[in-house]
Amino acid sequence: NISDLTSLSVGEKDIVDLTGIEAFTSLTNLDCRFNDLTSLDVSSITGLTYLDFASNQLSSIDLSNNISLEYLYANNNQLTSMDLGSMSSLIHFYYNYNQLPSLDLSANTGLVRIECTDNGITNIDVSGLTALEELTCFQNELTSLDLSSNPALKVLSCFTNQLIHLNMKNGVTDQLTVFNATGNSSLTCIEVNADDIAYAT
């Protein structure tokens, strides 16, 4: 009897196949992290608000029907593409340690937290994410980062990139020898490679 089941946690069970999960149409929470999944079909579970499939072996996943998702954990997979265009309710998105060098976040204007460490990212556009409070994007290939439209930003972790230009509202840096974040009154924590910073305010 699964018709009324709303939450399912099957993490760390050495599962290689979740065929049949599509019948759990009432689920709002699904946790299947730390397994050996190579595919996951949640297209029929349209009420999902929380999905955690971190630390599996997925190279792709179709989430176009999951328009209610608020929390999405996709860390430690082999993802090369992902379409978030239907997820206007997304609040937290974690996709560290994948192979997603680019991602369109323009439809996800309610995002509060993003973690995207080690994806080979060369550019990330967060200009429409005015609610964004935390951005973790270290170990990528970023040469510039524009946070001038993110007044709610509190935590930034961007070390081990190739940043030569960092714009934080009124603060603009060049070669990261000068770092000025005086325009970001919400900022409480920042992590950068500070070896070459000669002046910071």
- 67-91 pLDDT, tens digit each: 999 999 999 999 999 999 999 999 9
Pairing relationship of beta strands 113-115 and 134-136 according to DSSP bridges: parallel
Give the percent of the chain with pLDDT over 70.
Answer: 83
Mean pLDDT, range 1-20, rounded to an integer: 93
CA–CA separation, 101 and 128 (whole Å): 19
Asked if 48 contacts 42 with a C-beta cutoff of 8 angstroms, the reply is: yes
Mean pLDDT, range 133-137, rounded to an integer: 95
Mean pLDDT, range 151-160, rounded to an integer: 90
Name the token pair of 63.
Answer: 């989430």
Q: What is the pLDDT of residue 192?
A: 60
- Cα separations (Å) of 132 from 2, 88, 124, 129, 162? 37, 14, 13, 6, 22
Is the pLDDT at 173 greater than 80? The verdict is no
Sheet holding 29-31, edge to edge: 7-9, 29-31, 50-52, 71-73, 92-94, 113-115, 134-136, 155-157, 189-191
DSSP 99: -
CA–CA separation, 8 and 12 (whole Å): 13
**181 falls in which pLDDT band (50, 70, 90)?**
low
Q: What is the pLDDT of residue 183?
A: 56
